[in-house]
Chain A
């Protein structure tokens, strides 16, 4: 693991983004990740309860434990940039313990060269979703 703030299996993805020629290539890659979200939340499951408030775009998050008692993040957003970041977050957290997920920081996004995605005025979509994932992980770790 390159940094304790993200799981080591994310290293190759972080590297993939770092290797991009420019920011447009980086966003193109992010759009591809949005399409291959490992655990998307289908549209018919988007509701008020799982909606992330304060987002410019529509964003929904549902966190639970899988059959092995490990963390499962399902998420959906209409903005592909937010959906791509959530797809990578799902890769990071799915199968981890809730306690580990509750300690996650969004630093990997910065390392991927997408720091502007973390500025509060613009991508509050992703940042708010990320905060929701961490707080739900905290609750699940107490179960």
Chain B
């Protein structure tokens, strides 16, 4: 079903912002973070205005209300991702979720000589924790290469790499290329060789319905802020079996059962990993975001984004000097278009696009191994979401053409 983009845009106050240079904001930096609808802002404001209190362990009205809201949000979010509240551990985002798997599961369950398989297209958040673990425990880390023409994973190399692997960590969708990996096949192949699977769904979750129980991955890492939720919160979805194998990651308040001067005992389940005061306002905001998103079919969002991205990609290919890294025409692509101009340096191009009101990202996108594989130090990246319009894409192409003609 076609989305009512005008109505959707009216939910996002920031989209009507006029920038200091007098230009209307055109926000194409959605792969970095999405904008927030008014209902998310209101839900968080209401918490601070009316029932701000620390959750759990108190006998007063405000604490009850805050605890209820925090746990209701867990219910809504877990349901949105096709699982139960017991399988959702709140984290600060996908980065902390992956670190939680590294320090809270792999550190307790993997040993020297075990193998972890990553890919060249991982975000640093899904590389550095494993490099650290490798140094600490003598674990081997392997990287599956990408095919530089199709920008897809080399699945033949993948098959060889996972042969004796204990854990396979793969991004659902590349934050640079917009390429959606064949995650169903990856999970199936990994399971066949007895490897556990961690999916980094930071980029996938805003574009596709993620059903944790159906997918069959052991772990899924998600960030709220890329899918209309606030910054500072995300989650790790983990199967009950994997949670039962996990040990403490961060220790302190909230995660304990008892503490004596001789030692401590810990809570079971997700409570063991949610140390300190919970991210109450953020969880409430995220709950409001998934409620807002639930009014749409995720496939409609994907189709809308794909339509804009594929048109934009085709038009960009017509501009002399522009090279796209990825395949925005691919039906599964997330709508992130990485590109470079052959003579206008990426930072300069970003400045010149910003002068037209266009917010795009520039740099290595926390994916330096992928930049190395592509043979470039950085790219510009335009990324689209539910509220972007064809008119915005057309004005972007027009400004990009103007810049490329004038500054070449």
Contact = CB atoms under 8 A, between A and B. Distances in A.
A24 B352 contact: yes
Interface stretch (A1-9, A11-19, A78-86): A78-86
B345 A28 contact: no
The SS class assigned to the A binding surface is helix
A57 B406 contact: no
Contacts of B21: 23
Interface in A93-143: 116-117, 122-123, 125
A28 B407 contact: yes
Chain B interface size, as a band, is 10 to 19
Nearest to B343: A80
Contact of B345 (A24, A27, A79): A79
B345 A57 contact: yes
B272 to A, nearest CB: 37
B312 interface: no
B153 to A, nearest CB: 28
Interface in B321-363: 344-348, 350-352, 354-355, 362-363
Contacts of B355: 23-24, 27
B352 A78 contact: no
A31 interface: yes
A31 B345 contact: no
A116 B19 CA distance: 12
B378 A56 contact: yes
B407 A56 contact: no
Contact of A78 (B345, B362, B406): B345
Question: Which interface residue of B352, B354, B362 has the most chain A CB atoms within 10 A?
Answer: B352
A27 B354 CA distance: 12
Interface residues of A, number: 18
A87 to B, nearest CB: 14
A1 to B, nearest CB: 29
B352 A79 contact: no
Contacts of B406: 24, 28
A24 B21 CA distance: 11
Nearest to B402: A24
Nearest to B356: A24
Contacts of A116: 351, 354
Contact of A80 (B345, B362, B363, B377): B345
Nearest to B21: A23
A81 B347 contact: yes
A57 B351 CA distance: 12
Contact of B348 (A23, A24, A80): A80
21 contacts: A23-B21, A24-B352, A24-B355, A24-B406, A27-B351, A27-B352, A27-B355, A31-B407, A56-B347, A57-B345, A57-B346, A58-B377, A79-B345, A79-B348, A80-B345, A81-B347, A82-B347, A117-B351, A122-B350, A123-B351, A125-B347
Interface of B: 21, 344-348, 350-352, 354-355, 362-363, 377-378, 406-407
Interface of A: 23-24, 27-28, 31, 56-58, 78-82, 116-117, 122-123, 125
Given A57-B345, A79-B348, A81-B347, 6 more contacts: A79-B345, A80-B345, A81-B348, A122-B350, A122-B351, A123-B351
Closest 4 CB pairs of A and B: A79-B347, A57-B347, A79-B345, A23-B355
